[in-house]
Amino acid sequence: MINSHGRKLYRLPQEGMIKGVCAGLARYLDVPVKLLRVIVVLSLFFGLFFFTLVAYIVLTFVLDPAPEGAYDHDDNAVRPSQTLSEADAVLRDSEARLRDMERYVTSETFAVQSCFRQL
C-alpha cells in the first residue's frame, strides 16, 4: 500500500511489541505509536474484539517487514507536528507585532506626531 507521499506500508518488527503492525501503521499514518496502540486495545474491549484480532492477524501476514533503511529518509522529512509548531511560532510573532502596532497607533504619541506632520 502506497500513500500520497510515496511511502509504502510495512510492518516494523524492530519497533513493534508483537509483530510491528501498529508501529508500521503509526509510521505510515504519521501518528504516535502509543496512540494507535491505545486505540487498538480500546477496540478490543469495546465490541470490536473479533474484527481487531482478525485485522491484526491478516496485516501480520500481508504486510512485509520494512527493509533496512526504508525509513531513513523520513527522519529528515518535515513532520506535520513540526510544521504546526513553526506555523504557531510565526502566528505568535505576527500577533505580537500587530499588538505593538495597534498600541502605537492608539497612543497619544502617534496622535501628537500626526498633528505635527499635518502642520
Pairwise CA distance, residues 86 & 97, whole Å: 17
Cα-based angle 2, 5, 6 (whole degrees, multiple of 5):
45
CA-to-CA separations, 71 to 11, 43, 67, 76, 109, in angstroms, rounded: 12, 28, 9, 10, 58
Q: Please check the confidence at residue 21 and state whether its pLDDT lies above 70.
A: yes
- Whole-model pTM over 0.75: no
Please provide the average confidence, as pLDDT, over all residues in the chain.
Answer: 82
Please tell me the predicted confidence (pLDDT) of residue 90: 92
Give the confidence band of 28 by pLDDT, cuts at 50, 70, 90.
confident
Q: Please check the confidence at residue 99 and state whether its pLDDT lies above 80.
A: yes
Report which of 4, 9, 5 is spatially closest to residue 70, judged by C-alpha positions.
9
pLDDT tens per residue across span 46-95: 888 888 889 888 988 988 887 776 655 555 556 667 778 888 899 999 99
Please tell me the predicted confidence (pLDDT) of residue 5: 56
Helix 80-105 and helix 108-118, axial crossing angle in degrees, nearest 10: 60
Torsion of the alpha carbons at 83, 28, 43 and 13, rounded to the nearest 10: -130
Q: Please check the confidence at residue 101 and state whether its pLDDT lies above 70.
A: yes
Please tell me the predicted confidence (pLDDT) of residue 47: 82
